[in-house]
Structure 1
């Protein structure tokens, strides 16, 4: 199987925000005397738009209270110092140099996307960006990934998606893409349960290799190598077309 594009989630995949996200929502829960379980976080926080999290977990709050929480979240994210997930910057630069189409598909709003990419020095590396404002239905609905594939002019079935949340994996699989989870080994099971092909802890084990162009075809081959994957072995040599000229 040849794949033609690679799609990335933002939080937990490009930028390491899981601890910050978890801490924020646990603090909100404590403030309103609620308790959030690991299942609540996986189902209703990770990969979800903040407005959806509020409706799913804090439906009892008033509209004014929900608005205040959204403003508090935006202020915290605007002031945050972001750190990339290990290896993702090197991978994105290698894919960009090899002219492999990439897209960012996130439940975050556009202003956060721009803030994160600017801080990490990754601006301009994604051919397409799909953020919360571009989707009528958030993950686990496949709309975001289908939109990104359409904008890249590629079928979703020819895309590889990197995701860290169960809802994101479900969205990628519903779109018809192959999905690789990004999580520590101890937290891999929920992603495998909803269809991730394998789970890796970060991108340090993912490399890009380019072969010399074939004269008769005018194009070389690009190989995305995923090293020792957790739990489920992934096809180690996934060939993607490499554009030339």
Structure 2
């Protein structure tokens, strides 16, 4: 077992790219949105992953007023709601969730998606989150720590005893700011670096054969 995981009281997951492989759907939506709004798709994709849509849009189109930003963000999300054909669980996701249940560790999902999109994507991946915190549940999205702190409160576990699992730097920043331990996918830097969620499932298992 990796040193330091013994004190973990809950696991807080990002959704897109962490529990759910939806990268292709996310990219298609941002490319279509960028074409509609006259934005370079590469510029949008470079900063969109893991961030709330309105935050990304404010960066891309700083001249827009609040009402127009809200409409543009709503349009971006609308492009994603029904695009579920290739959305699946990430490698090791179901194995890890089974291991969490066996160990009696509570978990939650904290996502920059809204509730409709989060439930659609989790459903497509065959995952039911016991606690779901979406962009609609917080005043400020990632990298602000509010979402992860809220999830910890809902689980009744101090955030300092939570492990945040993320595949985007903006989410890792949120986890660190909340005071949680972090596990990073896709070559990013966290307290733990993971190739996939299967690796975390094995590290959480205290049995000698899992080491």
TM-score by length of 2: 0.82
More strand by share: 1
Structure 2 portions without partners, runs of 5+: none
Q: Which runs of 5+ in 1 are unaligned?
A: 211-221, 226-235, 238-245
Deviations 1:180-199 (A, max 9, x none): 1121xxxx2xx32xxx1233
1:1-245 aligned at under 5 Å gives the runs: 1=4, 2-35=7-40, 37=42, 41-42=45-46, 44-60=47-63, 67=71, 70-71=74-75, 73-81=77-85, 82-123=87-128, 126-183=129-186, 188=187, 191-192=188-189, 196-208=190-202, 223=206
What is the count of residue pairs matched by the alignment? 203
Structure whose CA Rg is larger:
1
CA distance in 1, matches of 2:158, 2:70: 38
CA 168–145 in structure 1, closer or farther in 2 if over 3 Å, else same: same
Report the TM-score when normalising by structure 1. 0.72
Q: Distance in 1 between matches of 2:110 and 2:90?
A: 16
Question: Which structure carries more helix by proportion?
Answer: 2
- Higher RCO (Cα < 8 Å, 6 or more apart): 2
Q: List 4+ stretches of structure 1 deviating above 4 A.
A: 30-33, 60-66
Distance 1:155 1:209, change over 3 A: same
Aligned-residue CA RMSD (Å): 2.8
CA drift at 1:201 = 3.1
